[in-house]
């Protein structure tokens, strides 16, 4: 892969296993929006960038080579061999074989742990447009102003200290609904204890989930999402409605409970469970499997 700097960004040449639509629409992130030119503009790590694919070139606008090496290379998990991951997953069965081919460009983003904690608390029993709006509202009201890009103002996701300044009522005004009390409680816990949730990346998945569930509003599914997308715990398997449908369609009985589906998947896919979940989720949702 070659990295070329251009006027206001960089071009990654000869890139495989990377498709913005697959990455940003597979349920793992909430701050990326599709533009009219089929590019995606997103806020991550306190920056705003725009990403577009043309053939085997990835165009990343509003950045530079230094930021790519220090931020985006890790964020997009560019050091992980997804070709090998996909090859391993395709050997499990015909269903994953098809799902991997369908979502060939998925990569699991290495996102900010704190942002994922609050984002997936907001996601509980909520629709994606509403989740996105709530996160945007919290960022605009309590996060740092990043700057203007293509005529729109952007804000970073607020730190625990910044968000803790908000009252529960003010958090609810940001369209978080009943989750306001969980967000406020989590902010208070983290600020008072001095916990850096990013450190949970360094403990086992079991211990990580145990710690995450101590926060109000973090149940099993939300916990698995935070662990996978914010802590890089690839050996977990979040089960939402789409994952439940695809698992019932291909693998398990219709009356199997969510915890049993999760256990079945982790036992079956092992250390590849998180990757399997993403390909199966995207495959099920895009094709409406089990509707």
The per-residue pLDDT for range 37-50, each reduced to its tens digit, is: 999 999 999 999 99
Strands (E), the chain: 2-5, 9-13, 32-34, 40-44, 47-54, 57-61, 145-149, 152-155
Same domain, 126 and 207: yes
* Distance, CA of 51 to CA of 189 (rounded, Å): 36
SS3 43: strand
Which structural domain range is residue 134 located in?
Answer: 113-231
Same domain, 218 and 246: no
Q: What is the arithmetic mean of pLDDT over 232-236? A: 96
> Strand 9-13 vs strand 152-155: parallel, antiparallel, or unpaired?
unpaired
Tell whether 97 and 7 lie within a shared domain. Answer: no
Q: Are residues 165 and 97 in the same domain?
A: no
Question: Is there a single domain that holds both residue 214 and residue 153?
Answer: yes
Whether 95 and 239 share a structural domain:
yes
Helical (H) or strand (E) element with 96: helix 94-102
Reported as a single tens digit per residue, the pLDDT across 193-230 is: 999 999 999 999 999 999 999 999 999 999 999 999 99
Q: Are residues 43 and 99 in the same domain?
A: no
pLDDT over 90 at 283, yes or no: yes
**Same structural domain, 67 and 88:** no
Indicate if the pLDDT at residue 33 is higher than 90: yes
CATH number at residue 71: 3.30.310.260
Q: Are residues 151 and 170 in the same domain?
A: yes
Both 93 and 138 in a single domain?
no
User: How many domains in the chain?
Assistant: 3
Average pLDDT rounded to a whole number, residues 122-134: 92
CATH code: domain of residue 276: 1.10.1670.10
Does residue 254 surpass a pLDDT of 90? no
| 31 & 74 share domain | yes
Q: Does residue 226 share a domain with residue 125? A: yes
Q: What is the pLDDT of residues 40-96, one digit of tens each?
A: 999 999 999 999 999 889 999 999 999 999 999 999 999 999 999 999 999 999 999
The CATH number of residue 172's host domain is: 1.10.340.30
CA pseudo-torsion sign 121, 126, 128, 130:
negative
Q: Classify each residue of 63-102 as buried b or exposed e, where b means 16 or more C-beta atoms within 10 Å of its C-beta.
A: beeebbeebbeebbebebebeebbebbbebeebbebbbeb
Choose one of 191, 216, 231: the last residue of a domain.
231
State how far the Cα of 58 lies from the Cα of 261, in Å rounded to an integer.
36
Which among 231, 221, 242 is positioned nearest to 284, based on CA atoms?
A: 242
Average the pLDDT over 272-282 and give the result. Answer: 96
Q: Kindly tell me if the per-residue pLDDT of 266 is higher than 90.
A: yes
Q: How many residues does the chain have?
A: 291
């Amino acid at each position: 892969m070659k990295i070329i700097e251009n006027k206001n960004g960089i071009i990654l040449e000869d890139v495989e296993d990377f498709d913005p639509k697959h990455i940003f629409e597979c349920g793992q992130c909430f701050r990326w929006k599709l533009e009219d030119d089929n590019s995606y503009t997103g806020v991550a790590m306190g920056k705003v960038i725009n990403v577009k694919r043309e053939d085997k070139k990835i165009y990343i606008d509003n950045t530079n080579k230094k930021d790519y090496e220090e931020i985006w290379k890790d964020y997009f998990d560019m050091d992980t061999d997804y070709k090998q991951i996909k090859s391993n997953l395709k050997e499990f069965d015909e269903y994953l074989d098809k799902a991997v081919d369908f979502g060939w460009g998925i990569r699991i983003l290495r996102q900010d742990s704190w942002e994922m904690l609050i984002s997936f608390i907001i996601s509980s029993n909520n629709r994606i447009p509403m989740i996105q709006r709530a996160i945007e509202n919290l960022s605009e009201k309590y996060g740092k102003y990043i700057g203007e890009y293509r005529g729109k103002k952007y804000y970073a996701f607020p730190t625990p200290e910044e968000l803790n300044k908000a009252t529960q009522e003010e958090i609810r005004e940001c369209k978080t609904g009943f989750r306001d009390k969980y967000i406020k409680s989590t902010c208070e816990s983290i600020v008072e204890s001095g916990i850096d949730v990013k450190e949970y990346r360094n403990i086992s998945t079991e211990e990580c989930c145990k710690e995450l569930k101590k926060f109000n509003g973090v149940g099993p599914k939300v916990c698995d999402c935070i662990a996978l997308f914010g802590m890089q715990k690839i050996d977990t398997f979040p089960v939402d409605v789409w994952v439940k449908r695809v698992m019932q369609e291909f693998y398990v009985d219709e009356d199997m409970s969510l915890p049993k589906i999760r256990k079945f998947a982790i036992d079956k896919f092992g250390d590849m469970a998180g990757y399997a979940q993403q390909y199966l989720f995207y495959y099920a949702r895009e094709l409406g499997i089990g509707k």
